[in-house]
Amino acid sequence: MKAYSFHDQPLGTVIADKADTLADKAYLQYEEGREVSYQEVDEITNRIANGLARLGVAKDDKVALLLPNSLEAVYFWFACSKLGAVDVPINLANRGFFLSHVINDSDAKVIVIDHELIDRLVDIEKEIPELKKVVVWSRQGTIGELPALSFEVIEYPQLCEAPADRPQVTVKPGDVQSIIYTSGTTGPSKGVMMPQAQAHLEAYEYCTYMRTGAEDTFFTCLPIFHANARYLCIYPTMLSETKVVIRERLSATRFWDQIRAAKATIFNSLGAMATFLYNQPRKDNDGDNPARICLASPMPKEIYEDFAERFNIKVIDGYGLTETGLILYNPYDSPRPGSCGKATESFEVRIVDEDDQLVPPHMMGEIVIQGKTPYGMCLGYYKQPEKTVETFRNFYFHTGDGGYMDEDGYVYFVDRLKDYIRRRGENISSFEVERVVDSHPKVFESAAIGVKSEVGEDEVKIVVVLKEGKTLPPEELLSYCEPRMPYFAVPRYVEFVESLPKTPNEKVQKAKLREAGITKRTWDRESVGYQVKR
């Protein structure tokens, strides 16, 4: 694997180099579509970059992306990077306030959107006054009739009519490449500013610790609007000078057939994905597949060894965050099931108490991280300097996650110290769930918490206090939530109470609600067959 000097690490520079050296070698493939070469990717993204420049997009401008997994989701990420513009990938489930918040907070003047999602802009049109231009993309190629919008609308094919010359923009390793929004716990989602060098380092270390090479074929079915698919698959594929096959989404029932069809040797599992795959009915050919290695974040200790044996694959567990990248890997030759692994060469990881003092081995504390290389971690939270200082206090990034370290430096994740909820690979802001529920005319106040799921991670429970004299069937509340929040944030459990436990200064004591968990008064939508639409 070629090592790039620090000043050659911006993504646009790497793309140009690979196009010049690898030319017509296959790089990207979407599902069963044709392979797209390194040279083609370079030329296509040059055209898009120049097309965006014609729209007035310049260095440091923000371009929001509301796109499903597709080649174009990769192209726009690359094109923005070549311009020195900042792409802002948005979770496809976002709608209403969740969507307008990201657009407004990021200062995006341009959005690239799937034409099937254009109605979401119509719904919030008056709430996003700074958005000026909309680029509409369609998987079918033809856009068709669009609703009347107050924005300037450009169809994707028009953008591609620009020249294929490489943009002449100086992009530095410390320049922001992307802003990825991660759900907060006591407020709206925060925009993580990821510099060019961080993206490169994360991809490079992945290749190093997973021992990737040109003989590998990568595979991802994880969303490209998240960091995993980008920096732990698509970017490492480029550094490994090989090909990646991209699928639209996870299908647990068809996963291994897709791996075989792609001849994929390497993939990542995120959140409860490993459990979903493991819980599929056993087949005689489970171990007959080309995959040689899987990064699992996490891989439950209870199934670690059997998963590896059943599917004839090496499993590497790891730990990281959008803000830091993956900073822990289980060593290739000496993994410890149940552990997240050891810190990479680029990071120092400590376990500290509430005063940021080191705790002894095996004692639980907060996992904190310090980078050893320039711009190897995020630059902070966009337009939130106070939150940035708080999180990076005492020169260490504070994860809010609890864990312990053994005598040999292996780190074990125990539990989250924050109030955010993690369901099936998605971080959910309790604040944003509560904001929607509290807007119901019959609701006085509410509290959203995570309760343990039978497949790992959390399920969302909403505890609701109704206005005096009001009644509200749980089904009616969920029907109200569905068009106003991502499908994965819609609560599974609903419980109505007379009041919420609070501190003397009127803060809700969520610890008490989590301790109570599922009670006899808790309504479960799955027990009654209520289906949430995606």
Asked whether residue 278 falls in the same domain as residue 148, the answer is no
Burial of 346 (0-12, 13-18, 19+ CB in 10 A): middle
Mean pLDDT, residues 326-334 taken together: 96
In a shared domain, residues 126 and 173 = yes
136 and 15 share one domain: yes
Residues 288 and 191 in one domain: no
212 within some domain: no
CA angle 139, 141, 146 (to 5 degrees): 90
Query: Tens of pLDDT along 25-78?
Result: 999 999 999 999 999 999 999 999 999 999 999 999 999 999 999 999 999 999
379 lies in the same domain as 453? no
162 and 29, same structural domain? yes
- For the ranges 135-144, 344-353, 496-505, the lowest mean pLDDT is seen at 496-505
118-to-33, 67, 459 alpha-carbon distances in Å: 25, 11, 30
Determine the Cα–Cα distance for residues 312 and 231; give it in Å rounded to an integer: 25
Strand, helix or coil for residue 189? coil
Q: Quote the pLDDT of residue 505.
A: 53
Residue 42 lies in a domain: yes
CA dist., res. 44 & res. 63, Å (int) = 18
The CATH number of residue 12's host domain is 3.40.50.12780
Is the confidence at residue 184, as pLDDT, over 60? no
| Better pLDDT: 189 or 106 | 106
The pLDDT of 176-191, averaged and rounded, is 82
| Non-local CB neighbours of 111 within 8 Å, separated by 6+ positions | 63, 64, 65, 66, 103, 121, 131, 133, 134, 135
% residues pLDDT > 70 (the chain)? 97
Neighbours of 404 (CB within 10 A): 18
| Domain match, 112 and 169 both | yes
Same domain, 29 and 178: yes
For residues 484 and 202, what is the distance between their CA atoms, to the nearest angstrom? 34
* Domain endpoint, select from 416, 441, 469: 416
Nearest by Cα to 63 from 102, 92, 97: 102
Q: Are residues 136 and 13 in the same domain?
A: yes
Average pLDDT (134-139) is 96
Domain boundaries, position 11: 6-196
How far apart CA 293 and CA 278 sit, in angstroms, is 16
Q: Is 238 contained in some domain?
A: no
**pLDDT value, residue 182:** 86
Last residue of a domain, one of 385, 416, 447: 416
Same domain for 269 and 330, yes or no, is yes
What is the rounded average pLDDT for all residues in the chain?
93
Q: Which residue has the higher pLDDT, 330 or 427?
A: 330
CA separation (Å) from 382 to 58, 240, 416, 446, 455? 18, 32, 23, 28, 34
The reply to whether 480 falls in a domain is yes
**Of 196, 219, 240, which one is at a domain's C-terminal end?**
196
Q: Look up residue 139 and give its amino acid.
A: R
How many angstroms separate the CA atoms of 460 and 483, rounded?
17
Query: With 80 as the cut, is the pLDDT of residue 186 above it?
Result: no
* Number of compact structural domains in the chain: 3
Domain identity same for 67 and 82: yes
pLDDT tens across 218-259, in order?
A: 999 999 999 999 999 999 999 999 999 999 999 999 999 999
Residue range 478-482: mean pLDDT, rounded: 93
Query: CA nearest 2: which of 214, 149, 244, 267?
Result: 214
Do 427 and 409 fall within a single domain?
Answer: no
User: Is residue 366 within 8 Å of 402, Cβ to Cβ?
Assistant: yes
> How do residues 337-381 score in pLDDT, each as one tens digit?
989 999 999 999 999 999 999 999 999 899 999 999 999 999 999
438 in a domain, yes or no? yes
In this prediction, residue 207 carries a pLDDT of 98
Residue 223 located in a structural domain: no
Q: What is the pTM of this model?
A: 0.84
Is residue 408's pLDDT more than 80? yes
Look at residue 77 and tell me if it is in a domain: yes
- CATH number for the domain spanning 442: value is 3.30.300.30
In a domain, 276, yes or no: yes
